[in-house]
Chain A
Amino acid sequence: MAQNFFDKIRPTFSEGGKLGWLHSSFDAFETFFFVPDRVTRKGGVHVKDCVDLKRLLIIVVMAMVPALLFGIWNLGFQHSKVFGLDWGFWQMVWYGFVKIIPLYLVSYIVGLGIEFASAQMKGHEVSEGYLVSGFLIPLIVPVDVPWWMLAIAVAFAVIIGKEVFGGTGMNIWNPALLARAFLFFSYPSKMSGDSVWVGGLSKALAGGTPWKGGEVVDALSGATPLSHASLSGLDAAGTSAWNLFLGNVPGAVGETSVIAILIGALILVCTGVASWKIMCSSVLGALFVGWLGNIGGVTDIPCWEQLLLGGFAFGTVFMATDPVTSAQTECGKWIYGFLIGALCVTVRLFNPGYPEGMMLAILLMNTFAPLIDHYVVSANVNRRLKRAKTV
């Protein structure tokens, strides 16, 4: 039935048709519903693997779903805890659901709108890259971020971060992280501090609204545990390693639950969509610097607890492994991942004013990934030249 519908409207959208200029958009919708009937070129490979970008990217999205589901519950849980509400499970989920849906709407409407428009202008097919970026963005921003701010951040990330470089596959920085960095530096009051990570808290504080159990807030301040913990230890921050592992702590929607992220990591590694080398080496890098900091007396917490804190796990699994912006040579991946982990913990330990190192560590290494690759490839080139000389 859908097939007939597309067959019927195809001439309208084909070249020369009434809406021929909307060809790219039509194509995007058609290929979403149907794997196209295109056949291989006569002079190339005649059969092709059945994997395509849609498949790979949908796997990344599926891998993030556990983190999202947990995050939705955790939004309600944190809210009810801080405000002293006696909520049941479904009330918490409903609260989180209502909070997160607008963020997704803004992210996809703005982001995909720009992608479609730009593909339309260039006459390209619409690439699926934004499906993943758009799914990531609501998971890493504070849940109370005003929608207009999010819209601007998304527009910035897609236009300046991606389209100016030539679109999907050409960008230097991870678009989702770029959106977060944009928010962080443009609207710092909405992005950092103690109150932004619990839904409704900033508003309540600002408006002076009385709420039940206000004293809880004074004690906890809704801060992400990270802001204290990476220096003074988890107990001082009022949390425990077990809580961090489970994820029932305040934080960005997707990043709190290490266990949910590990499920995602398992999916990505088993399907081979993301590089296990980057994940492994990032963990090694974080452990190494965490260990140095611990024996050097900079911090009291053991190095393995660094892995549970803040956005480290989420960044390592879902953002450092972005195939476009990470290092592309197998050897380069080890270096790239290691430096991300190391830099992340370094920022945490030596810059107490700025507790979350993961975002900047990844963006910085995105910048240097081509350089790492350059040296790895140069080594191969030199090997080839040397071989020529010695023979």
Chain B
Amino acid sequence: MSDQIRLKKGLDLPIAGAALCEVTKRVAPGLVAVKPTDFRGMVPRLLVKEGDSVKAGTPLFADKKNPAVVFCSPVSGSVDAIVRGDKRKLLEVRVKADGKNEAEAFSVPKISSLGKAEMTEVLLKGGVWPCIKQRPFGTVADPEATPKAIFISGFNTAPLGADPEFALKDDFAAIQAGVEALGKLTKGGVHLSLPAKGLPANELHKLTGVVFHVFEGPHPAGNVGVQINHICPINKGEVVWTVDLHLVAVIGRLILTGKYDTRRIIAVAGPAAVKPSYVEVPAGVSMKDLAEYFGEGDVRIISGDVLTGEAVGPEGFLGFYHNQVSVLLEGKYFEMFGWANPIRSKKYSFSHAYPAFLRGGKKYEMDTNENGGERPFLMNDVYGKVLPMDIYPLYLFKACLAGDLEKMENLGIYEVIEEDVALCEYVCPSKIDIQNIIRQGIDLMMKEM
């Protein structure tokens, strides 16, 4: 049992439209997609063609650099379409379900006797390897690497995020099997972070074979990158692996049943969502299957949370790592003298330049308006207020902009990925796309290394 770590910096975004703790729909598999773009730095090699019939767990494409890492179909059916973008870049492999729910037969050996190499083999063959991400840089884990430890965040502080205590309440056995399997992959142990609030009642606290850490504080306390920074920061040359809790359950189900089963309970939420609540869906579900939850008008449908997610549109698909769909109104309107309005009661501001901080627990109907024009970096101290890490964010951003590899390395590029600096982008009064700066910095590092 480790000490409680209290984080003061950060912000719980007061956005309206949180999901009610109720599963209001179970989507039967229809059209689903696996998107190679969800996996950073991965160059896909296609293994199927249009019309091929597949089962749940049949590989659709593999990583060219690491052919053992395969990305599987989440449902049984046939390959409906292979969507390519500019320069024939592979964007989506769409699979149409046939309703038979067949899965690839896969026999799992008894895991307690396995070593690292055998366990890796099991997870690769079972198709669940992409669930494991690697830091630095947030790529799919390299099976050859030796991770210092494996980190799992047991709670979610992202705006409107799915609460794992509700969404995964039936998956306790699978999560237990999952952490046991992951434990075989590292000598550094599996580290699970839990929230201080409600700790005694937390089911996850009963897991065995993991090292617990307790965190308290606002978002991004639930981000695994922030937790690693406080538990055991990543140094140059080191590698750690991270797994989202709901994907630990996917790994666990493979171990328990031998099936590639990626069904998940996601939160559909947001100010423009109709009846925000939880929905059970197959991985890569089409947004068309969730259309009844999206409000009228010009809405933006986001796979993931409103800070880090990807706008996929009403015909898009859920991302591989996502367990949340956020719905926002597009903010295409002018606001006369908005910046001069002393009250501006419908908008939230983290800064004290507006009286929003006096309004306590009020939730806001946020939209996608930028609320200002893009300007140079000016207010230099706001970023540190929402990044609870031992890092000077502004200097890191500027090193990324300058493409100075040595400085990026010294200032902590190995310890962050985009989601960790998302709040910096939210609060930035100069409206600078900070996640994009970090993304380009990481891309440059990966290219040069």
Contact = CB atoms under 8 A, between A and B. Distances in A.
B235 A387 contact: yes
A272 B369 contact: no
Interface in A291-328: 323-324, 328
A53 B372 CA distance: 8
Interface residues of A, number: 58
B436 interface: yes
B384 interface: yes
Interface string A167-179: 1111000000000
Contact of B377 (A55, A169, A273, A275): A169
B352 to A, nearest CB: 4
Interface string B420-439: 00100111111101111000
A54 interface: yes
Interface in B252-280: none
A212 B275 CA distance: 81
A154 B15 CA distance: 45
Interface size class of B (residues with CB under 8 A): 35 or more
Interface in A22-73: 27, 31, 33-56, 58-59
B436 A41 contact: yes
Contacts of B433: 41, 44
B144 interface: no
Contacts of A127: 375-376
A39 B330 CA distance: 7
B285 to A, nearest CB: 20
B422 A380 contact: no
A202 interface: no
A174 B332 CA distance: 37
Interface in A357-381: 377, 380-381
Contacts of A37: 331-334, 369
Contacts of A329: 392
A39 B429 contact: no
B336 A34 contact: yes
Contacts of A380: 390-392, 411
A203 interface: no
Interface stretch (B42-50, B89-97, B207-215, B302-310): B302-310
B429 A384 contact: no
B378 A36 contact: no
B246 to A, nearest CB: 22
Interface string B329-342: 01111111111100
Given A47-B15, A271-B353, A34 B334 contact: yes
Nearest to A28: B373
Given A34-B336, A45-B435, A272-B353, A388 B237 contact: yes
A2 interface: yes
B352 A270 contact: yes
A153 B436 CA distance: 40
A151 B25 CA distance: 69
Interface in B212-260: 233, 235-238
Contact of B307 (A46, A129, A168): A46
B133 interface: no
A35 B335 contact: yes
B354 A58 contact: no
Nearest to B374: A125
Contacts of A206: none
B368 interface: yes
A51 B429 contact: yes
B238, B332, B349, B373 pick with most chain A CB within 10 angstroms: B373
Contacts of A209: none
A330 interface: yes
B339 A46 contact: no
Contact of A49 (B237, B339, B380, B427): B427
Contacts of B412: 384
A344 B201 CA distance: 59
B415 to A, nearest CB: 9
A68 to B, nearest CB: 18
Given A37-B369, A38-B369, A383-B390, A53 B378 contact: yes
A129 B422 contact: no
A43 B436 contact: yes
A92 to B, nearest CB: 30
B336 A33 contact: yes
A330 B381 contact: yes
Contact of A34 (B15, B302, B338, B411): B338
A2 to B, nearest CB: 7
A49 B422 contact: no
A48 B370 contact: yes
A385 B410 contact: yes
A328 B380 contact: yes
Interface string B315-330: 0000000000010101
B310 A42 contact: yes
A49 to B, nearest CB: 5
Interface string A284-296: 0000000000000
B370 A58 contact: no
B72 interface: no
A317 to B, nearest CB: 17
Nearest to B385: A272
A391 B232 CA distance: 10
A58 B341 CA distance: 11
Interface string A88-104: 00000000000000000
Contacts of B293: none
Contacts of B435: 43-45
B283 to A, nearest CB: 21
A190 B202 CA distance: 74
Nearest to B372: A52
A40 to B, nearest CB: 5
A391 B435 CA distance: 30
Contacts of A58: 339-340
Nearest to A166: B376
Contacts of A384: 233, 235, 390, 410, 412
B344 interface: yes
B125 interface: no
A46 B368 contact: yes
A271 B394 contact: no
16 contacts: A3-B336, A34-B337, A37-B334, A42-B310, A43-B310, A43-B311, A44-B425, A46-B300, A47-B426, A50-B349, A51-B353, A56-B379, A270-B352, A271-B351, A275-B381, A377-B395
Given A45-B425, A47-B328, A53-B429, 8 more contacts: A40-B370, A49-B426, A51-B371, A55-B429, A58-B339, A167-B376, A169-B378, A170-B376
